[in-house]
């Protein structure tokens, strides 16, 4: 089964940047929807962005458009999340997740649609 491991995260001030990596193993990398999700205590897990590794199609939730960039490196079986112009409201535990992709096109970011999850990494943005 797909195994996911996140790297990166940490703390920064508002306006700063952080990057996250999600290393995928035990599955054919270019046949996946990979999403980044975030959650703060007491709130539901929120879909942030996704990429279809079959064709690179991406999706972003409105709150991160123009600030976050998702990308893939097929040679490293890795999906990246570059986060720029960070805001305090971006503070959360960030998770990558994956599900099989059967076709090209954008992948949704509904948490229940994703079957495999990483352990999460904390992102903290101070004002």
Q: Give which of 13, 2, 15, 61 is closest to 37, Cα–Cα.
A: 61
Q: How confident is the model at residue 2 (pLDDT cuts 50, 70, 90)?
A: confident
Phi/psi of residue 16, nearest 5 degrees: -85, -175
> Is the model's pLDDT at 7 over the cut of 90?
yes
Segment 67-83, tens digit of pLDDT: 999 999 999 999 999 99
* d(C-alpha 86, C-alpha 92), whole Å: 12
């Amino acid at each position: 089964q797909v195994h996911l491991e996140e790297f990166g995260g940490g703390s920064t001030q508002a306006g700063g940047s952080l990057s996250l990596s999600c290393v995928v193993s035990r599955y054919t990398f270019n046949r996946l929807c990979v999403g980044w999700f975030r959650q703060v205590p007491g709130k539901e897990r929120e879909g942030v962005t996704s990429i279809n590794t079959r064709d690179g199609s991406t999706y972003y939730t409105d709150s991160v458009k123009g600030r976050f960039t998702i990308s893939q490196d097929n040679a490293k079986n890795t999906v990246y999340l570059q986060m720029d112009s960070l805001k305090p409201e971006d503070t959360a535990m960030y998770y990558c997740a994956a599900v099989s992709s059967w076709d090209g096109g954008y992948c949704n970011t509904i948490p229940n649609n994703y079957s495999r999850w990483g352990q999460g990494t904390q992102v903290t943005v101070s004002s």
